[in-house]
Chains A and B, each alone.
Chain A
Amino acid sequence: MSKKCSFKEYLELFGVFLRIGAFTFGGGYAMIPLLQREVAQKRSWITDEDMLEIIAIAESTPGPIAINAATFIGLRKGGVLGSTLATLGVVLPSYLIIIALSFVINEVNDIKPVQYAFEGIRVGVLALVLKAFINMYKQFKKYLFSYIVAAAAFVLVAFLGVSVLPVIILCAAAGLTYTLVKNKRSAKKSVADQQAVNTDDKSVADQQADNTDDKEVQ
């Protein structure tokens, strides 16, 4: 993609994402409404439909959702330079604010009330992580396979001390295997159904018996 923008347009791209980075808290999904207003409605750099695509693709690509979205929109508007500027814009406020804060907190960390405050804050964070967990649990598709994967990931990391990366790779591989097997089985089934249409009831029953056999094997 080699879209050319004027200098002013590049500057605007950077500015919009700088503002989004500076005024949304929590990032990711919290950013979507502002993104939609600034980029789709006010400027029509992308359409509302693109926005849905961006959310969908951000979920199936690695990394922070905000970065995925900034890169994608920047690319649409101004090619690789555009995506670089958009990403830089969304990251820069965080970068500067956090570095400044890390200095300040480092300085005041030894003061008693600050320590007490952080003791309380950590309890608050526990509540926030609980909520993140509940949200993710609500979103997740509740069938046997996903329960097994979630439980396995939990036990491996929480109780067996396995580090996260191998668990992620293992779960992706399990998901892929499961999906391929399932697809193969349903392809077989649809062929079976096709044949069943052309034959009598008896062979339909046979096909169903075959399918049950397959299930038991797998």
Chain B
Amino acid sequence: MEFLELFLTFFKIGAFTFGGGYAMLPFIQSEVAAHTAWGISGEELINFIAISESTPGPFAINMATYIGSTVGGSYGLWGNFLGALCATLGVVLPSFIVIIIVARLYDKFRKSTVIQGCMAGLKPAVVGLIGAALLSIATTVLFPAGLSLDAVLNLKFALSLLLFGGMAVLAIKKVHPMIIIGISAALGIGMGYLCA
């Protein structure tokens, strides 16, 4: 049952990631890779990241909706809506429930040794996990045909590297992600025709 699986997967992601947004990315990536039946490639997932960043709303919700809609889409139009609903509900529900439970005693909750102890491990874990996601995305983007000498010695790779450097500078200078994605899209079209 694809829809139940979507709900459960995103419930798990919602329940076990702290900090939201990009902290969720490694988990989403590993789940999408594990669900081969969903048919979402590494490249497609990176496209989803771009779309989630350049449309309004929380990043995590956009990602969940997009994946849900794509997976459900193979069951027709209503499949898109139902799939998106299952994934989004899944990712929302854990934080909804937890906040309702802890809202009244939030001070006690936040200062409890157990929570602080877990957070002492979770905060650095997120750094390591994002590092892993970064490496995997870098491999997918820069070496789509695998790591080889041919993959490095061509115009496209050189241009991609240049584009990456430029965009990294813009990103670090806090240029809005939407602008970065817009510029990348325009230069990507140019690069595509240049290398074709």
Chain A interfacial positions (CB closer than 8 Å to B) = 1, 21-29, 31, 53, 56-68, 71-72, 75-76, 80, 83-84, 87, 90-91, 93-95, 97-99, 101-103, 105-106, 112-113, 115-134, 136-137, 139-141, 145-147, 149-155, 157-158, 163-165, 167-169, 171-180, 183
A-B contact pairs, 26 of them (CB 8 A): A27-B58, A56-B110, A63-B14, A64-B21, A71-B99, A83-B100, A94-B57, A94-B65, A98-B52, A98-B84, A101-B55, A101-B66, A113-B189, A113-B192, A120-B189, A127-B168, A127-B171, A127-B180, A128-B177, A129-B133, A131-B172, A141-B123, A164-B27, A168-B129, A172-B125, A175-B122
Cα distance, A64 to B59, chains bound together (Å): 8
Interface centre among B58, B95, B113 (most CB of A within 10 A): B58
Cα distance, A130 to B135, chains bound together (Å): 9
Residues of A within 8 A of B96 (CB): 63, 67, 71, 83-84, 87
Q: Which of B14, B80, B114, B131 lies in contact with A133, CB distance below 8 A?
A: B131
Query: Would A93 and B56 count as touching, CB distance under 8 A?
Result: yes
Q: Interface 1/0s, chain B 69-100, versus A by CB < 8 A?
A: 11001000000110011001001101110111
Q: Which of A21, A112, A133 lies in contact with B58, CB distance below 8 A?
A: A21
Residues of A within 8 A of B91 (CB): 63-64
Query: Would A65 and B19 count as touching, CB distance under 8 A?
Result: yes
In this complex, what residue of B is CB-closest to A146? B124
Judged by DSSP, the binding face of A is: helix
Q: Which of B16, B92, B116, B124 lies in contact with A149, CB distance below 8 A?
A: B124
Residues of A within 8 A of B160 (CB): 123
Cα distance, A131 to B181, chains bound together (Å): 14
In this complex, what residue of A is CB-closest to B166? A127
Asked if B163 is at the interface (CB within 8 A of a chain A CB), the reply is: yes
Q: A67-B20, A124-B163, A127-B170 are in contact. List 12 more A-B contacts (CB 8 A).
A: A25-B177, A26-B53, A56-B110, A71-B96, A99-B65, A102-B70, A116-B188, A123-B163, A125-B50, A147-B124, A150-B125, A167-B129
Cα distance, A31 to B61, chains bound together (Å): 14
Knowing A119-B191, A123-B188, the reply to whether A28 touches B104 (Cβ < 8 A) is no
Asked if B4 is at the interface (CB within 8 A of a chain A CB), the reply is: no
Q: Which of B22, B27, B52, B121 lies in contact with A178, CB distance below 8 A?
A: B121
Knowing A25-B177, A128-B180, the reply to whether A165 touches B92 (Cβ < 8 A) is no
> Shortest distance in angstroms between B77's beta carbon and chain A's nearest beta carbon?
9
> Shortest distance in angstroms between A66's beta carbon and chain B's nearest beta carbon?
4
Q: A-B pairs with the 4 shortest C-beta distances?
A: A120-B188, A175-B121, A63-B95, A116-B192
> Shortest distance in angstroms between A97's beta carbon and chain B's nearest beta carbon?
5
Query: Would A57 and B109 count as touching, CB distance under 8 A?
Result: yes
Knowing A120-B191, A129-B134, A179-B120, the reply to whether A80 touches B180 (Cβ < 8 A) is no
Knowing A22-B56, A95-B84, the reply to whether A63 touches B138 (Cβ < 8 A) is no
Judged by DSSP, the binding face of B is: helix
Knowing A149-B124, A153-B125, the reply to whether A62 touches B57 (Cβ < 8 A) is no
Chain B interfacial positions (CB closer than 8 Å to A) = 12, 14-27, 29-31, 34, 43, 46-47, 49-62, 65-66, 69-70, 73, 80-81, 84-85, 88, 91-92, 94-96, 98-100, 102-104, 106-107, 109-110, 113-138, 140-142, 160, 163-164, 167-168, 170-172, 176-178, 180-181, 183-189, 191-193
Residues of B within 8 A of A123 (CB): 141, 160, 163-164, 167, 184, 188
Query: Would A62 and B118 count as touching, CB distance under 8 A?
Result: no
Query: Would A168 and B61 count as touching, CB distance under 8 A?
Result: no
Query: Would B113 and A179 count as touching, CB distance under 8 A?
Result: yes
